[in-house]
Structure 1
Amino acid sequence: MTDPLLAPTKLLDFEAAPLAHLIETRGWRGLSEYDRTGAAYDFVRNEIAFGYNRADDIPASDVLSDGYGQCNTKGTLLMALLRGVGIRCRLHGFTIHKGLQRGVVPELVYPLAPQEILHSWVEIEFQGAWINLEGFILDDAFLDVLQTSFSNTESLCGYGAGTDCLGAPPVAWNGEDTYIQKTGIVQDFGVYDTPDAFYLSHEQSFGWLRGALYRHIIRHWMNARVRGFRSGRLKTDRRATHAHAEPANAT
């Protein structure tokens, strides 16, 4: 009987040719459990850039093809790669306050954003304990710009980050929890074996019009802003440092 925390699904399609080829050519299966985890994690963190896909519930192979993603889509890709190399994993679902996206969402359309935005991180079983992995969301190039631009504060809730230790956030894989958006959490939906199950129960409440605007216009505008920020063109919004939400009691 297949372990449900190792099984492929429609979204965790690690048996699809692009993901299978990636795992094979990188030689990840021959590594130790610690290094297998780190290799998949580092790939998603830095070789898949921070950006906004057409929807949350897209297959891992589509995220790989896009070459960019946000918390939910990069999480789906990470879970697929982890299961593809034999690492048991599950999803923990949340919402985050929309203030965490301030600065990335153009101010002209920011009022249209839902107050709470669907969020998730990946949990892996490692050495008999469950480890929370969220620090893969922002690539190093983007994070470096935030650290330089907000060098006068350790607390930031905006531009895709929600942290009280901006200068040295726990984002590198070292066998322990990693976080970069934790301080923005509002609701805790608990754990799910798969992203497929999570998105059947929860979906982003855009509404038809806002959803169409997001998919076809706003997300492309956001991605252009992110690319500009990554190149160093960041005009900081002071409101971003004061938009903290109360963190959930997640474990």
Structure 2
Amino acid sequence: MNNDLEPTELLNFNHSSIQDLIRRRQWASLPVKEQILHVYNYVRDEIEFGYNRRDDIPASEVLQDGYGQCNTKGILFMALLRALGIPCRIHGFTIDKQLQKGAMTGWYYHLSPKEIIHSWIEVLYNDKWLNIEGFIVDLPYLTKLQQKFNECTGSFCGYGVATDDFQNPAIFWDENDTYVQKEGIVQDFGTFDHPDQFFTLHPQKLSPIKRRIFSCLVRHLMNRNVRRIRKG
């Protein structure tokens, strides 16, 4: 059980910014269900959907950025849960890059790998592991995306979303699994105690040059596309 609670280099929940957030929100005084719900809603909506410099950055950096995607938001979510004594682990996958089409366009979409490293977080609650993925896209962004494609009432894949019920995806947590990219999954790598281990074994399949181009240029173009959707 200790493996599901301990800090790591990426899950640096003893960092002052993370501890200050927990104190300000008074999450430690809440029942466990409310702790999970409040942390979940915070990561989903107050950490906007966006692309950080890389996947394996510490939780404190995700918090400072104020935005993230599946892997980086997951790191922050795990760190906050473990800071509150709630066991959690990471489940690793790849997703088809089609899921990113729209957020990723043009030449950089064509140059990106066919499969992209993805993860969700599993939370131990009432002696059951719950799959938590629905925090990836914030509600303002998702709402604008639904309005943009309001004719779509079934499956949707693109712009950071892959769901079989686009107008009503399972993104609200009430002791349940949540999903927003699950339908784009290709490979399943299983569970890991912490993200440090997962990203060491399964980094994004980018050459050093492509990795630098992504960090310095591509992610900023993707974030610009995401902001345009969010603003409507």
TM-score of the two chains, using structure 2 as the length reference: 0.98
- SS of the residue aligned with 2:3? coil
- Equivalent residue pairs, number: 231
State the match for 1:134 in structure 2. 133
- How far off is 1:101 after superposition? 0.3
Match of 2:226 in 1: 226
For residues 35 and 168 of structure 1, the distance between their equivalents in structure 2, rounded to whole angstroms, comes to: 23
Q: For each residue in 1:54-73, what CA deviation from the matched residue of structure 2 results, as whole angstroms up to 9, or x when unmatched?
A: 00000000000000000000
Q: Which position in structure 1 is the counterpart of 2:188?
A: 188
Name the residue aligned to 2:12.
Answer: 13
Q: How does 1:69-148 map to 2 (within 5 A)?
A: 69-148=68-147
Within 5 Å, give how 1:15-54 maps onto structure 2. Answer: 15-54=14-53
Q: Distance in 1 between matches of 2:166 and 2:98?
A: 16
Which amino acid is the alignment partner of residue 136 of structure 1?
F
Deviations 1:166-189 (A, max 9, x none): 111010111100000000000000
CA deviations over 1:38-66 (Å, ceiling 9, x no partner) = 11111100000000000000000000000
Aligned to 1:235: none
Alignment of 1:141-220 (within 5 A): 141-153=140-152, 154-220=154-220
Any unmatched runs of 5+ in structure 2? none
Cα deviation for residue 152 of structure 1 reads 1.5
Equivalent position SS for 1:4:
helix
Match of 1:55 in 2: 54
Q: What letter is aligned with 2:226?
A: V
Quote the residue 1:66 is aligned against: 65
Deviations 1:177-209 (A, max 9, x none): 000000000000000000011011110011122
Q: CA deviation at 1:108?
A: 2.9
What is the SS of the residue equivalent to 1:103?
Answer: coil
TM-superposition CA deviations, 1:202-224 (whole Å, max 9, x none): 10011122111101001001111
Counterpart Cα distance in 1 of 2:94 and 2:5: 25
The unaligned stretches of length 5 or more in structure 1 are 233-251
What is the identity, as a one-letter code, of the residue corresponding to 1:85? L
Aligned to 1:248: none
Residue type matched to 1:167 in 2? Q
* 1:242 corresponding residue in structure 2: none
User: Would you tell me which structure has more helix in proportion to its own residues?
Assistant: 2
CA distance in 2, matches of 1:22, 1:110: 36
Alpha carbon RMSD of aligned pairs, Å? 0.9
Deviations 1:94-149 (A, max 9, x none): 00000000000122321101000000000000111110000000000110011111
Q: Distance in 1 between matches of 2:109 and 2:71?
A: 20
Match for 1:98: what amino acid? K
